[in-house]
Amino acid sequence: MLKQNLHTHTSYDHGKDTVEEMIQAALDQGFTTLGFSGHGTNKPLAPTSMSSENQLAYKQAIREAKEKYKDQIDLFMGIEQDSMAPFEDDELDYKIGSVHYMCKDGRVEPVDDNPKLFEQIRDEMYDGSIEKMVTAYYQSVEDMMDFQNFDIVGHIDLISKFNENEEYFGFEEPWYLEAAFHAIQKGIDQGLIFEMNTGAVARGNRKTAYPSDALLQYMADHNAMLVVDTDCHDRKYLDCLMDESIERARKAGFRHLMRLSKDGFVPEPIENFQKEARVLNPKRPAGTGLKRPYLR
């Protein structure tokens, strides 16, 4: 069985654990692939990002761990690159591109910090219009796709972090779907990979992974490439809601998930990431739509 997580943070940025602790947790939990994605240096804007010195130490720790654990787990050196601080580094195995900030008229604010600030951004920067704010968010995602290099679109739905119960907008609102679908289609056309991201679940803000059902369905219907990540800041939650999210992706119609290998990203049948499917019905071919005995 394959078990992968490519979105993890360590104490080099604002995670709780060392590289070593995260690897031990991954081994304990049966992971076969683990990628580190510390917040790339983005000071002073992002206090939680790595300092330049920490980024060097982070890379060195992962380099050493790759050698030490090469027979036990596939380790990868990534970065979560904020759209405000792009950079190139040939040594990285992959990059996650994420929009965390709203920028307008010289003002820059994080969209995912707390509901009060979220409302201030809406009211003070976007004339009280949630539609304007959300649309601007997805425009920033598209700008990042147009002008920056990365492999995985990080939590494309981050703008909905405080919207679990549709406090700010409906998940079926036409203007929301139009903006989000447009950004998703651009990512698909550019060959980018999307992630289901359970980070807001571990933090208690959401009950399900990003993205919302309609966005996930659009991705499935348009053959988007997908990974399932937990955006882990605490090794206790390294596989938080992972099995449930993979099953949600399968139900939406995904037949493959992308696995990071030494040769880059390769598609793997989604069943290979699902313990039950392999144990109870290992020969079931992908995509036949057959009912699974274990679900009855």
CA separation for the pair 127, 189 (Å, rounded):
33
Task: Please tell me the distance from the alpha carbon of residue 198 to that of residue 206, in angstroms, as a whole number.
Answer: 8
> Is there binding between residue 231 and Zn ion (CB under 5 A)?
yes
Where in 71-90 is the site for Zn ion (CB under 5 A)? 80
- How many whole angstroms separate alpha carbon 140 and alpha carbon 133? 11
Q: Tell me phi and psi for residue 289, to 5 degrees.
A: 70, 15
Of the pair 142, 231, the CB lying nearest Zn ion is at: 231
Q: Total binding residues for Zn ion by CB under 5 A?
A: 3
In the complex with Zn ion, the residue whose CB is nearer, 203 or 292, is: 203
Min dist. Cβ of residue 130 to Zn ion (A): 21
Of 92-100, 128-136, 140-148, 274-282: span binding Zn ion (CB under 5 A):
92-100
- CA 22 to CA 14: how far, in whole Å? 14
The dihedrals phi and psi of 124, each to the nearest 5 degrees, come to: -95, -25
Q: Compute the least distance from the CB of residue 276 to Zn ion, in Å.
A: 29
Contact 117, 109 (CB under 8 A): yes
Q: Which of 114, 55, 121 is nearest to 85 (CA)?
A: 55
Residue 13 lies near Zn ion (rule: CB under 5 A): no
Among 5, 41, 55, 98, binds Zn ion (CB under 5 A): 98
Tell the smallest beta-carbon distance from residue 167 to Zn ion (Å).
21
Q: Which is nearer to Zn ion, 99 or 134 (CB)?
A: 99
Q: Is 157 in the site for Zn ion (CB under 5 A)?
A: no
Minimum CB–partner distance for residue 253 and Zn ion (Å): 26
Q: How far apart are CA 225 and CA 97, in angstroms?
A: 15
Binding region for Zn ion (CB under 5 A): 80, 98, 231
